[in-house]
Amino acid sequence: FISSVSHELRTPLTSIKGYASILIAGKIGEVPPAVKERLAKINTHSDNLVKMINDLLDIARIESGRAEMKYLKQSIRPLVDNITDLLTPQLRERDLNIKIDLPENLPEVYIDRNHAERVFINLVGNALKFTPAKGTITIAAQPKLENGMITFSVSDTGIGIPEDDLQKLFEEFYRVDNEINQSVKGTGLGLSLVKQITEAHGGRVWVTSKVGSGTTFYFTLPTGPEYVKSLTQKKEI
Ligand code: ADP
């Protein structure tokens, strides 16, 4: 159901965005600044909606086992380096440090690269959003394997999450009621997606946090195909 609704919503939304862009570009006629400002808002809100719909579609696809997962054995290092590169402008803009702490002899992981990348991007993206300037974000991996799984973590020195909210964090649309969330847009779907993706890899995700000191998200990824038990396989059992 979510999947069909999302598809149906995406088409008119693309039109709305398209028409707003034509107007902003002045293709129909001169646009007064006050109108331009409102059109820009239509554009931004449409972008947010498109992002939300895409996330919903992905969650639905992975949950139902219909997502195409291309698992390959690979080193995690290039993926992490790529993410650091990608987010460097935002890190600089927000005056944040990033630390990569991966053991030298870390075994290769058996993952779908695109999906695993989204796990890191969502977690580091959140750390960026909820950490004040001069803070540090650390991407790390534990050297010891557990049942063939590597435990990764993304920690920050940010605002933290109250204990009461921790349980509900991975639910769709859940967002903590705080000052940052009141001013910065978000969908509340990022962590649900992280959960779906790690579980599709046979892994799990959890969080520890202290208000005012920071947050650490942990997740596990498999080192071989024998450890990948997708959600659908689990459901069949
Ligand atoms: P979004 O970021 O779009 O709101 P997410 O599902 O990614 O949605 O996150 C849900 C909520 O969890 C966030 O709105 C925020 O309140 C809280 N959260 C996530 N990561 C962090 C973090 N690193 N530090 C503090 N709060 C966080």
Per-residue tokens: 160: 């933290």
From the alpha carbon of 186, which atom of ligand 1 is closest?
3
Which of 119, 191, 197 for a ligand 1 pocket mutation test, highest count of atoms within 8 Å of Cβ?
191
Q: Among residues 189, 158, 161, 169, which one has the least CA distance to residue 96?
A: 158
CB 231 within 8 A of CB 196: yes
pLDDT of residue 132: 96
pLDDT of residue 232: 46
Per-residue tokens: 185: 């847009």
Ligand 1 centroid, distance to 115 Cα (angstroms): 19
pLDDT of residue 178: 87
Ligand 1 centroid, distance to 108 Cα (angstroms): 29
Ligand 1 neighbourhood includes 112 CB (under 6 angstroms): no
Whose C-alpha lies nearest to ligand 1, atom 3? 186
Helices 33-63 & 2-24, crossing angle to 10 degrees?
160
Cβ burial of 86 (10 Å; 0-12, 13-18, 19+) is middle
Cβ burial of 11 (10 Å; 0-12, 13-18, 19+) is exposed
Query: What does the pLDDT look like over 14-69, one tens digit per residue?
Result: 999 999 999 999 999 999 999 999 999 999 889 889 888 988 888 988 988 888 89
- Please give the Cα distance from 1 to 9 (Å, whole number): 12
Coil, strand or helix at 199: helix
From the alpha carbon of 188, which atom of ligand 1 is closest?
8
Ligand 1 neighbourhood includes 135 CB (under 6 angstroms): no
pLDDT of residue 230: 56
Amino acid at 48: N
- Please give the Cα distance from 98 to 51 (Å, whole number): 26
Ligand 1 neighbourhood includes 175 CB (under 6 angstroms): yes
Q: pLDDT tens digits for the chain (237 residues)?
A: 887 888 888 889 999 999 999 999 999 999 999 999 999 999 988 988 988 898 888 898 898 888 889 999 999 999 999 999 999 999 999 999 999 999 999 999 999 999 999 999 999 999 999 999 999 999 999 999 999 999 999 999 999 999 999 999 999 988 998 888 888 878 899 999 999 999 999 999 999 999 999 999 999 999 999 988 654 444 443
pTM of the model as a whole: 0.88
